[in-house]
């Protein structure tokens, strides 16, 4: 249907709706009828695909080939063990990947966009998926249009339709009927299409199509994108594992050749080489990375940080600078007017929060506001030049809209003004919404046959448009700005208010008309209101924590420089000597000048989103890893340019959220700090898994080579090597991904993002541990043979020695520097339980007759156990000495 050709009245009739919107009951019925407003149904998790993915590895291919060859060689027991190892590894990997996928999808569902609608005649925020044809939707700058909408009222509305038409310039929209036939979507100026972006202005419209019936939905039917985004860390790990794989396969080939030279059979050496390769290659590492990232994402979500792009988890751990907005992020965003200036007198306002209780004082004494007309004028403009509201729910005062505007309503109510009565007396005819580039908002009102323009905005911007004050005097800009500056020193945010009577019978206002400041059209300055937005106590603590972690916090705000400096000092970002860089100064600076300034400036005031982008770029030129917050449409370039773009979940626009890597559901700076901590923990845990797997893998090959050099039999048969790999690596490596953060995780400087998985420390320790384990195994094996033990029993001793070496190595891996005796056994219950399960399995391996027959083992004596535990414990002693020495060198 050509909705653009139909009048609003006809649309109401066709869709059985009204300008008050649908009832909740009717909306529920239509949701069942039309379905959810989304383009495609979420594809279900393909369990079979995840299971088959566990076999998609060259290492598994080698095992399967080895199993087939073993069957052909009629070694059925070994073949059974090989295939059992493949299937058990696949089952464990499947469950971990499936849980990780479930977790990430659940978090994604938390980021469904919101829509502002009229339901039961009341404004409500709902998820865009709940929209149905007939809903009345309110559009405002920064949101992505949630459905196909026929506009019924517009105010300076501009929409970016490039996603649909390819046209780069925003399109000006209106609400009038268009009679022309067969118009393209780009020419339907009274329609807003799903997926396009509101660049500026406000609008109201009727939802005419949802989901797959929208213009975008019809396009989506022909396009199906399936993309799995991998974090750089996952690619890094895959390359690392492949490099290790090549080295191990080369070593196993040499092992095979050496075995043949000393007289071993081709069959035995083939099986030994394959089993050694499987034991040495960290094939579980890519799965562990997926699990570790999923664990990190889940933990961040508990701290109100939803990760949209997996690379953010890794990059957060390397962050060196966080550029944060002030209002709502570093402060509570609970505005309360504390001071009013009417052009002559200064008034103090009692009370806090949104409850309209508190006296208005002059020189410390309560006054009757209604006797002070100039004071009432300031408060009335704040009340009526406003798009927000204050209401009572369950006895508690709540707000709808912007907290700054809500504070102005509350201050007017404290003076006895009734919002309902004032709106009735001063009927709003037109509005120019606030935009950050404009710096003000204006409304047109009708009162007693006259027209009035009310304006509120930044003091310097409003004063540019004023010619005199409400007392009839010529405007004294210097005096007013001095008052604003004095208020700002107290950490108050300042807004200026002005008005003008219009003689003509006009129904619309334009920016050009308001900004034309001359003796006829200039505004009359009414006064100032200063409000406090107290710093969040948790943000103050988080900033302290960032400093300890080597992360610099930079405040980037649109507030007055003096206000920004006062709040910056309260938060601990700056001190009394710190310089504040303003937007005006930034405008005069070249990029080179700014490049030198960004290293020392921590507070930027009166800046625009374009300035924020320049700041981010210059910080990156210094090699900083930058995280930056944003909530508006124009913040998107800065969010994309930063290494980590962080959008606000409550106040952020859809455009900001889509440009971001992470969304804060509570708009709280402390949540960023918690996310940085989790990012560091994820990388640390992956290193711990690597240090657990690599030395023990190296030891399995080295021990065979050592046995050959000592001219003794190989310490284990192929099936036993596979058992070692299964009982030690199957659970412990994944358990290490759940390690809690270490005490020093936030006191060390940020990690260099170019640093590899294996640091120099880990490489050195891997060589020491690998050599120690292989020596210990061969020592116990030879010792058992010399004590007249059978070859089967000696091999049982060797396998058990290797298993317990790996148990103790798992504990060693829990920290690079901290002694294991200072780490609680139960701080990672998953690891504790996995070691208990593995110990029980190893006892069954030794003493259960069926397993003895499969793996060719024999029971071992108490003396053998003593030797095994004493030798295996040596790995703890050696690593503890190494940690102690390195702690001393660090100091």
Q: How far apart are CA 355 and CA 373, in angstroms?
A: 24
DSSP letter at 169 equals: S
Contact 475, 466 (CB under 8 A): yes
The DSSP string of 678-698 is: HHHHHHHHHHHHHHHHHHHHH
Contact 10, 154 (CB under 8 A): no
Checking phi first, is residue 502 left (phi over 0); if not, alpha (psi -120 to 50) or beta? Answer: beta
Please name which of 682, 699, 651 lies closest in space to residue 874, comparing C-alpha atoms: 699
Residues 6 or more apart whose CB falls under 8 angstroms from that of 141 comprise 198, 199, 200, 201, 202, 433, 435, 632, 633, 653
Residues 6 or more apart whose CB falls under 8 angstroms from that of 593 comprise none
Q: How far apart are CA 780 and CA 178, in angstroms?
A: 91
DSSP letter at 602 equals: -
Q: How far apart are CA 210 and CA 148, in angstroms?
A: 6
Contact 536, 584 (CB under 8 A): no
Neighbouring-strand partners of residue 468: 474, 524
Q: How far apart are CA 545 and CA 633, in angstroms?
A: 30
- SS3 of residue 410 by DSSP: helix
Contact 521, 466 (CB under 8 A): no
Q: How far apart are CA 313 and CA 644, in angstroms?
A: 9
Q: How far apart are CA 324 and CA 558, in angstroms?
A: 12
Spacing of C-alpha 164 from chain mean position: 28
Q: How far apart are CA 339 and CA 288, in angstroms?
A: 57
- SS3 of residue 289 by DSSP: helix
CA angle, residues 638, 644, 649, in degrees to nearest 5? 80
CA angle, residues 30, 34, 35, in degrees to nearest 5? 105
Residues 6 or more apart whose CB falls under 8 angstroms from that of 858 comprise 790, 792, 793, 796, 846, 852
Contact 114, 94 (CB under 8 A): no
Q: How far apart are CA 17 and CA 132, in angstroms?
A: 11
Contact 428, 505 (CB under 8 A): no
The span from the first CA to the last CA of the chain, in angstroms, equals 75
Neighbouring-strand partners of residue 493: 531
Q: How far apart are CA 566 and CA 486, in angstroms?
A: 11
Which of 148, 160, 325, 684 is catalytic? The answer is 325
Q: Which pair of structure tokens corresponds to residue 883?
A: 């940690």
**Could you give the C-alpha distances from 688 to 330, 337, 461, 642, 657, in angstroms and in order?**
34, 53, 57, 29, 34
Residue 575: active-site member: no
The DSSP string of 105-162 is: HHHHHTTPPEEEEEETTEEEEEEGGG--TT-EEEEETTPBP-SEEEEEEEEEEEEE-H
Angle between helices 669-709 and 285-302 (to 10 degrees): 160
- Residue whose structure tokens are 């890519």: 286
Q: Which pair of structure tokens corresponds to residue 354?
A: 């949104």
Name the pairing type of β-strands 336-341 and 523-532.
antiparallel
Spacing of C-alpha 323 from chain mean position: 15
The catalytic site residues sit at 325
């Amino acid at each position: 249907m050509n909705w653009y050709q139909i009048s609003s009245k006809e649309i109401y009739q066709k869709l059985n709706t009204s300008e008050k919107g649908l009832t909740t009951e009717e909306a529920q019925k239509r949701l069942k009828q039309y379905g959810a407003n989304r383009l495609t149904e979420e594809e279900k998790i393909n369990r079979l695909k995840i299971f088959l993915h566990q076999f998609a590895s060259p290492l598994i291919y080698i095992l399967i080939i080895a199993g087939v060859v073993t069957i052909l060689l009629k070694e059925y027991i070994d073949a059974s063990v090989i295939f059992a190892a493949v299937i058990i590894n696949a089952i464990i990997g499947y469950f971990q990947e499936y849980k990780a996928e479930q977790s990430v999808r659940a978090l994604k569902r938390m980021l469904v966009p919101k829509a502002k609608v009229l339901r039961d005649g009341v404004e409500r925020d709902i998820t865009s998926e709940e929209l149905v044809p007939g809903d009345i939707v309110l559009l405002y700058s920064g949101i992505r249009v949630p459905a196909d909408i026929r506009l019924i009222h517009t105010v300076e509305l501009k929409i970016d339709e490039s996603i649909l038409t390819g046209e780069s310039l925003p399109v000006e929209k209106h609400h009038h009927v268009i009679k022309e036939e067969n118009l393209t979507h780009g020419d339907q100026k009274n329609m807003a299409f799903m997926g396009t972006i509101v660049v500026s202005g406000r609008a109201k419209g009727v939802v005419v199509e949802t989901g797959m019936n929208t213009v975008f939905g019809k396009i989506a039917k022909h396009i199906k994108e399936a993309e799995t985004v991998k974090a750089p860390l996952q690619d890094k790990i895959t390359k690392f594992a492949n490099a290790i794989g090549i080295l191990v396969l080369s070593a196993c080939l040499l092992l095979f050749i050496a075995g043949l030279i000393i007289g071993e059979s081709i069959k035995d050496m083939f099986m030994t080489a394959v089993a050694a390769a499987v034991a040495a290659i960290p094939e579980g590492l890519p799965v562990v990375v997926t699990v570790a990232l999923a664990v990190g994402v889940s933990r961040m979500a508990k701290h109100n940080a939803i990760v949209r792009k997996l690379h953010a988890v890794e990059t957060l751990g390397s962050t060196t600078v966080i550029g944060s907005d002030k209002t709502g992020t570093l402060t509570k965003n609970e505005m309360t007017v504390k001071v009013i200036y009417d052009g002559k007198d200064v008034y103090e306002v009692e009370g806090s929060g949104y409850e309209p209780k508190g006296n208005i004082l002059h020189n410390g004494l309560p006054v009757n506001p209604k006797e002070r007309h100039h004071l009432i004028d300031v408060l009335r403009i704040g009340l009526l030049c406003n798009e927000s509201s204050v209401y009572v729910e369950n006895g508690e005062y709540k707000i709808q809209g912007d907290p700054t505007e809500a504070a102005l309503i509350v201050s007017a109510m404290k003076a006895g003004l009734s919002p309902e009565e004032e709106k009735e007396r001063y009927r709003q005819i037109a509005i120019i919404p606030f935009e950050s580039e404009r710096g003000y908002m204006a409304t047109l009102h009708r009162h007693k046959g006259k027209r009035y323009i009310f304006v509120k905005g930044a003091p310097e911007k409003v004063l540019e448009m004023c010619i005199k004050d409400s007392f009839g005097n010529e405007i004294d800009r210097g005096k007013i700005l001095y008052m604003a500056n004095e208020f700002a020193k107290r950490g108050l945010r300042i807004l200026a208010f002005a008005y003008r009577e219009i003689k003509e019978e006009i129904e619309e206002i334009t920016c050009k008309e308001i900004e034309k400041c001359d003796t006829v059209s200039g505004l009359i300055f009414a006064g100032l209101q200063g409000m406090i937005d107290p710093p969040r106590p948790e943000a103050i603590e988080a900033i302290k924590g960032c400093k300890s972690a080597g992360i610099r916090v930079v405040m980037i705000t649109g507030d007055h420089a003096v206000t920004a400096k006062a709040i910056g000092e309260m938060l601990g970002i700056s001190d009394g000597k710190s310089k504040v860089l303003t937007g005006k100064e930034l405008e005069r600076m070249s990029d080179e000048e700014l490049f030198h300034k960004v290293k020392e400036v921590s507070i930027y005031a009166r800046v625009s989103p374009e300035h924020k982008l320049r700041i981010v770029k210059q910080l990156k030129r210094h090699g900083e890893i930058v995280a930056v917050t944003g909530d508006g449409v124009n913040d998107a370039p800065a969010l994309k340019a930063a290494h980590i773009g962080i959008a606000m979940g409550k106040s952020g626009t859809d455009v900001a959220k889509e440009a971001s890597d992470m969304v804060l559901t509570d708009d709280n700076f402390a949540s960023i700090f918690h996310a940085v901590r989790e990012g560091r923990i994820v990388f640390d845990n992956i290193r711990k898994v690597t240090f657990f797997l690599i030395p023990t893998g190296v030891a399995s090959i080295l021990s065979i080579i050592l046995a050959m050099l000592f001219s003794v039999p190989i310490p284990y048969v192929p099936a036993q090597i596979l058992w070692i790999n299964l009982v030690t690596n199957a659970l412990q490596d994944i358990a290490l991904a759940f390690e809690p953060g270490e005490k020093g995780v936030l006191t060390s400087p940020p990690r260099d993002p170019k640093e590899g998985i294996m640091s120099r420390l880990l490489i050195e320790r891997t060589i020491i541990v690998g050599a120690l384990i292989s020596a210990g195994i061969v020592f116990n094996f030879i010792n058992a043979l010399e004590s007249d033990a059978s070859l089967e029993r000696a091999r049982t001793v060797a396998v058990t020695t290797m298993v317990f070496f790996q148990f103790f190595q798992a504990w060693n891996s829990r920290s690079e520097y901290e002694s294991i005796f200072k780490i609680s056994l139960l701080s990672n219950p998953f690891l504790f339980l996995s070691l208990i399960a593995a110990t029980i399995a190893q006892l069954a391996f030794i003493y259960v007759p069926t397993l003895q027959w499969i793996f060719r083992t024999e029971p071992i004596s108490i003396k053998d156990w003593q030797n095994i535990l004493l030798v295996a414990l040596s790995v703890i002693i050696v690593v503890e000495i190494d940690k102690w020495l390195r702690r001393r060198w660090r100091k």
